[in-house]
Structure formats: structure tokens, C-alpha cells
Amino acid sequence: MNVHHLELFYYVARHGGIMEAVRNIPYGIQQPAVSSQISQLEEFLGVTLFQRRPFALTAKGEKLFKFIQPFFANLDKVATELQGGQARHIRIGASTIVLRDHLPQLLRTVSGKFPGLKMSLREGFPAQLETWLQADEIDLAITLTEKNYPPGICSLALLKLPLVLLVGKNSGLKAAEELWQRDKINEPLICFPPGQPLGKIFQQKLGELGVDWFPSIEASSVDLIETYVANGLGIGVSVAIPKKPLPPNVRPLALDGFPPVTIGALWRGRKTPLLQTFLDELQARASRLA
């Protein structure tokens, strides 16, 4: 029996499908290759291990997964023990801005303390990051945080950022309050989806003010919001990020009375020395930005 085929089957069974497995296998492999090798494993065994759509393990697949799961699930733990108790691989999820503008310098610092460090980076929404964390697909999330999380998820607040409206440089608006005094706001709103922390906070405060103004364009990142405002497509809701310049034709309006959002770190379970080092460096960087 080909052990590599068993490894691929382990990831497929653990993550509930071939495409999800491809996103989580810690080395590069394409979906057709995984499908082909799983088919070879099934042909060798003479059984079907799982239904493809919707995904479900067969009885034979359940039996095989139960047999191989302890071995593959504990490989990282054994590697950590052989390395003297210090894990050297971490999986981090964050927004585009964090991954692009803040993480590289931090990684250089941590790499100096953990030679041979390996990292897996994933970009996502706050809700996606929490889901990946609960599914053990990432070890650390750096994201907009909320007050309450399910048991088992730990959080550390790093930085509070005030909300701002972004308008075109030539906009006649002098203050956000001018919008709240109107009977109807006609300008398109560019914002994160209402279910995301920033969008949720903004809409809750608008509700308190008795203002109806809902997104015309839902964007997935601060950069996208800035870009669409710069192109004259509406007014954006964003956060004031320290040391991050706005596009030349965009200016901010303060949102007085709106609560800030919190950037924080999320993780599960016991903190390893590597994870603790990342948290320490994140706190130090947040302090410098503040």
C-alpha cells in the first residue's frame, strides 16, 4: 500500500473533500493529482472510500481513516518533541493589509529566534479566520475581534482603531454629521458586509441615530474600499490605520461617537514557545503603531 496515498486520503477525510484537502496539505499539490492518487488507492483496495458529492466517508473509508488518523495527526507533535519541544511551523491567517504591510518585518524577527521556521499564510475575512481556527486549519488569526468567542478560542487585544468615512477629495462634505441630518442619503455606501465586525458596528450606530444607509458595494478589504472611493463610486467606511497613507484623491471624515474596532490575535489551546513569541512581537508592534 502506498503510504503517500494514505496521507492524501487522511487530508481528504479530515477536511471533508478533495478541494478542501488541497488547501490544507502542507506542500504544493493540485486537485487532479490528489483525485488521481486517491483513485489509485481505491483501485488497489478494491473499495470506494468516500462519496464525492455530497462528501461522506463510506463504512470502509471510516475504518481506514480511524486506523491512519492517530499516525498522521501526531506527526507534528512528534516532530516538535524531536526538535527539543520547539515547533518550527506556524499557520497564520489574517487580512491582506496585515499579511502585506505588517507581517514581513515581524516574521524576520521571529525567524531569527527560530531557525528553520516554516510558515503557512492564508488571507480571509474575520468569520473565515474563526472557522479555520476552530477547524484547526490555522494556528493564529490576526483580525478584527469581537467580545465573545466560543469556549476554546483565546483572544488578545492588540490595537483599537477609530472608524472613518472616506470621501473623494473634492467632496463637499465637511463632516459625517451632515449626512445624518438628511432625510435620505443618496450616495452609495461602500463597506464590509454587515455581518463582519466593522460593518456590524457601523450599522448598529446608524440604527441608534435613526439613519438608514446600507451598502451598495460590499468589499472584502480596506484597500478595495479605498480604491472604489478613489474612483468616485461612493462613500466608504473604513478604519484609520496608523502610518497607512490614503490615495491622493481620498480624504477621511471622523466618525465621532462611533465605537472603535479592535485588532486582535486569536488562537486555540496551549501556547507553544513559537506562538508566544509571535504574540509578544505582535504586542510590541501594536504598541509602536499606537
Q: Are 141 and 19 members of one domain?
A: no
Same-domain status, 206 and 118: no
Residue 79 lies in a domain: no
Of 116, 126, 38, the C-alpha closest to 80 is 116
The mean per-residue pLDDT over the stretch 254-283 comes to 90
Q: Cell 490605520 sits at which residue?
A: 241
- Please indicate, yes or no, if residue 27 is contained in any of the structural domains: yes
- Does residue 33 lie in a domain region? yes
With bands split at pLDDT 50, 70 and 90, how would you rate the model's confidence at 65? very high
11 occurs within a structural domain: yes
* 26 belongs to a structural domain: yes
Helix (H) or strand (E) holding 119: strand 118-123
User: Does residue 229 form part of some domain?
Assistant: yes
Distance, in Å, from the CA atom of 90 to the CA atom of 13, rounded to the nearest integer, reads 22
245 and 222 fall within a common domain: yes
**One domain for residues 100 and 61:** no
Evaluate whether 181 touches 159 at the Cβ level (below 8 Å): no
Res 271: pLDDT: 81
- The reply to whether 58 and 22 lie within a common domain is yes
Q: Of the residues 43, 73, 103, which one is the last residue of a structural domain? A: 73
How far apart CA 109 and CA 285 sit, in angstroms, is 11
Looking at the structure, do residues 25 and 153 belong to the same domain, yes or no? no
Q: List the CATH number of the domain containing 67.
A: 1.10.10.10
Last-in-domain residue among 46, 73, 100:
73
pLDDT given for residue 148 in this prediction: 75
**58 and 141 both lie in a single domain:** no
List b or e across 257-289, with b for residues whose CB sees 16 or more CB atoms inside 10 angstroms: ebeebbbbbbbbeeebebbebbbebbeebbeee
- 3-state SS assignment for residue 115: coil
pLDDT in tens, 49-63: 999 889 999 999 999
pLDDT tens track for 82-91: 655 555 788 9
pTM of the full structure: 0.67
pLDDT at position 217 over 80:
yes
Q: Do 271 and 152 share a structural domain?
A: yes
pLDDT for position 220: 80
78 lies in some domain: no
Please tell me whether residues 270 and 198 are part of one structural domain: no
- Rounded distance between C-alpha atoms, residue 54 and residue 38, angstroms: 17
Per-residue pLDDT at 140: 94
| Closest alpha carbon to 89 in 71, 102, 75 | 75
State the Cα–Cα distance between residues 262 and 277, nearest whole angstrom: 21
Q: What are phi and psi of 183, to 5 degrees?
A: -70, -35
**Is there a single domain that holds both residue 270 and residue 246?**
no
Instruction: Verify that 104 and 248 share a domain, yes or no.
Output: no
Whether residue 108 lies inside any domain: the answer is yes
Domain, as residue range, for 37: 3-73
CATH code for the domain of 201: 3.40.190.10
Tell me how many domains the chain contains: 3
Same domain membership, residue 147 and residue 89:
yes
